[in-house]
Amino acid sequence: MVKMKIIGLGNPFMGDDAVGVLVARQLHTYASAHISVLEGGLSGLSLLHDMEGTDTLILIDAVHSHSKVGTILRFTIPQDLEEIGKLAWGTSASSTHAFGLAEALTLAHTLEALPTHVVLFGIELGHIQKGHVLSPAVSKAMTGVVNQIRLEELSFSHA
Amino acid sequence: MNDPLTNPSNTRTIKIDMMARVEGEGALTVTVKDGQVQDVQLRIFEPPRFFEAFLQGRHVNEVPDIVARICGICPVAYQMSAVHALEPIFGVEIPPAIRDLRRLLYCGEWIESHVLHIYMLQAPDFLGFPSGLEMARVHPDLVKQGLRLKKAGNQLITLLGGRSVHPVSVKIGGFSQVPTKDKLRALKDELLWARDAAVKTLQWVSGFEFEDPEQDYTFLALRGPSEYPMNTGPLVTNEGHHLNVSEFEEHFHEEQVPYSTALHCTFQGKSYLTGPLARMALNHDQLSPFTKEIFAETGFSLPFKRASMGIVARSVEVLYAFDEALRIIEKYEPPPFPSVPVIIKAGTGVAATEAPRGVLYHRFQVNDDGTIHVAKIVPPTSQNQRQIEDDLRNMLPNFLHLNDTEAAAKCERHIRSYDPCISCATHFLKFTREEIS
């Protein structure tokens, strides 16, 4: 059992959809006996296995919510489940042939399998062209999210 | 909107559009004139097309990690087809112990993919739930059992692949590392539980009602000399064809259709089916004795001629995969080296392996410096797409008296029963209809 798991979702080869994975990579040095940092993948349902064994779960994924590119959205689960279900996530049901992020979290809630604290960061994406290049605004947002997650960790560790 | 029954001379276009989303779209368009189905177009967004171009110029050593990102459900399949296509170019011979570990890894993927489809996608159709989520509210224990089964497959992939969703330790020549005997043995108890649960799963789905029409499929699968196919074997059909994988592109032709990013693949100009129904039809004699025994108790005869019976075929293969995983773990001795040396050189290589959804073909042309010159990938869904359209063309006359919502639900259910890569997305289809008089 770790105190906190940080899972970055997305596809590192599909433009801005990489951002969740890249946030996780930036936080890898941050992993400790109490904090585990994972690169999630394209399938939301695997998240159900990955989210086991922690009190606090922090998720990062690209999102398409018609906001300005690079906008950082923060959601608390399960309170915001309905709202996240309306957005198109990088890890979405239709883009990955899989159970999407919103469906996986809803299922975990239904089965009472959610960790005590779950926070989801969505970063508004610009392009999903194949390749490694992030939109400048998304790249900037990535740094913002990394900093916010450090603050989250402090607040939970002192809770 | 005109009623097609009272106004049969109208042309009716039934469109099922998917929810707007990030990565392209898929949709079904059906055109009906004078009560006859004129055209059926299934539009699918297909990531391999993007990746074929992306792979050009990348080094072969990057290929396993890149192709693992093509599909969230079957990363192992893409890795297996890729390394098996590349290794012959470099004269690499894979030792038996590494070959067994690759088979074990593939078992994990079949389990994960099939269990997801059985429990979360197709079972809700038989039990009358609009989605797996709704089913979980009423039958939480059932869904928990499915998730535990899926997790057992996930554990095999985690152990052999390093990371569960996108295995990164598969490489040309073997693995970047291999597990100890103890690590594999530690999974045994859970796999024994899972094999029992897989028996119950097969018994459960065998009691469902299968009502779609029977058809005479042309089945295509690998068939090796001695084992149920995953990584090896020439291609065979139920019509007596026997083809080497190197002949694939002579007999299977992909054509671009204007309404889809997916290419349609035909065999000698006709539609055909690959995947669990085909594997069962062509290789059932190679299932393990235990799997055969449990399957015999269901009373079904082969081949399955209904798409809806894919859930039975997948359940048989889940049982087999657990049985096979236990067999491999039981006799496992770690190889002296996790991989064999690879000397990169120019050349062309092909391979097909059995992804959960069927035959997955890869061809790579490699330059002297180890970069990819050409990558060609033919995924199972593009091979089955034309069969799905043919089915819908045949079935739709029976649905025309239904209203849009009901007709769409029938189409979605049938499409989903084939487990195409869009099967989850078909839970989100939006139905609209246009009338042209």
Q: What is the arithmetic mean of pLDDT over A88-97?
A: 54
Angle of helix B96-115 relative to helix B75-86, nearest 10 degrees, comes to 150
Identity of the residue in B137, B166, B428 whose CB atom sits nearest the CB atom of A93: B428
Sign of the Cα pseudo-torsion (B383, B388, B391, B392, in order): negative
Percent of chain B with pLDDT over 70: 85
Using CA coordinates, name the residue in chain A closest to B148. A49
Q: Give the pLDDT of residue B19.
A: 30
For the stretch A34-84, pLDDT in tens is 899 988 866 777 788 889 999 999 999 998 888 899 999 999 999 999 998
- Residue A102 predicted with pLDDT over 70: yes
Residue B192, token pair as written in the block: 């024994």
pLDDT value for B15: 55
pLDDT digits (tens, 9 = 90+) for B416-430: 888 877 533 333 333
Contact call for A92 and B20, based on CB within 8 A: no
Distance from CA of B68 to the nearest CA of A (A): 10
Which range, B108-122, B318-332, B377-391, B411-425, is most confident? B318-332
For B107-251, where are the E strands, in sequence order? 170-171, 174-175, 219-222, 235-237, 242-243
**Sorting pLDDT into bands at 50, 70 and 90, what band is B260?**
low
Is the dihedral angle over the CA atoms B111, B168, A96, A149 positive or is it negative? positive
Least confident of A59-63, B29-33, B216-220: B29-33
Provide, as residue numbers in chain B, all residues whose Cβ is less than 8 Å from the Cβ of A95: 21-24, 45
Helix (H) or strand (E) holding B17: strand B11-18
Kindly report the nearest CA distance between residue A150 and chain B, in angstroms: 24
Q: What is the pLDDT of residue B8?
A: 40
Q: What is the mean pLDDT of chain B?
A: 86
Which residue in B19, B51, B140 is closest to A110 by CB distance? Answer: B140
Using CA atoms, how far apart are residues B147 and A80, in angstroms rounded to an integer? 24
Q: Assign A154 a pLDDT band (cuts: 50, 70, 90).
A: confident
Q: What is the pLDDT of residue B398?
A: 84
How would you classify residue A31: left for phi > 0, otherwise alpha for psi between -120 and 50, otherwise beta? beta
Confidence of residue B131 (pLDDT cuts 50, 70, 90): confident
Pairing of strands B219-222, B174-175: unpaired
CB B43 within 8 A of CB B426: no
Least confident interval from B33-37, B75-79, B277-281 = B33-37
Kindly tell me if the per-residue pLDDT of B404 is higher than 50: yes
According to CATH, the superfamily of the domain at A2-157 is HybD-like (3.40.50.1450)
Q: Dump pLDDT digits (tens) for B270-328.
A: 999 999 999 999 999 999 999 999 999 999 999 999 999 999 999 999 999 999 999 99
Indicate whether B266 pLDDT > 80: yes
**What's the pLDDT at B350?**
98
Report whether pLDDT(B229) > 90: yes
Q: How far apart are alpha carbons B277 and B302 in whole angstroms? A: 9
Domain spans, chain A = 2-157
Bridge partners (DSSP) of residue B354 are B359
Contacts of residue B143 in chain A, CB cutoff 8 Å? 107, 111
Q: Count of residues for chain B?
A: 437
Residue of A nearest to B113 (CA): A98
Q: Rounded to an integer, what distance in angstroms lies between the CA atom of residue B417 and that of residue B309?
A: 8
Q: How far is CA B257 from CA B227, B260, B388, B418, in A?
A: 37, 6, 15, 20
Residue B391 phi/psi, 5° resolution?
Answer: -60, -45
- The mean per-residue pLDDT over the stretch B390-395 comes to 85
- Provide the percentage of residues in chain B whose pLDDT is more than 90: 61
Over chain A, what is the mean pLDDT? 86
pLDDT at position B37 is 78
What CATH number belongs to B48-378? 1.10.645.10
- Higher per-residue confidence, B47 vs B81: B81
CATH 1.10.645.10 region(s) of chain B? Answer: 48-378
pLDDT-derived band at A130, boundaries 50, 70, 90? low
Dihedral pair phi/psi, residue B355, rounded to 5°: -65, 165
The pLDDT of residue B30 is 78
Q: Give the pLDDT mean for B240-252.
A: 95
CB-based contact, A20 to chain B, within 8 Å: no
Tens digit of each residue's pLDDT (9 = 90 or more) over B346-372:
999 999 999 999 999 999 999 999 999
* 3 state SS of B248: helix
Give the helix/strand (H/E) hosting A73.
Answer: strand A72-77
Weakest mean pLDDT among A4-13, B171-180, B293-302, B426-435: B426-435
State residue B424's pLDDT score. 34
Rounded Cα distance, B173 and B196, in Å: 35
Q: Is the pLDDT of residue B1 over 50?
A: no
* Model pLDDT, residue B265: 83
Peptide bond into A78 cis (omega under 30): yes
pLDDT of residue B6: 38
Q: Which residues of A touch B144 (CB under 8 A)?
A: 111
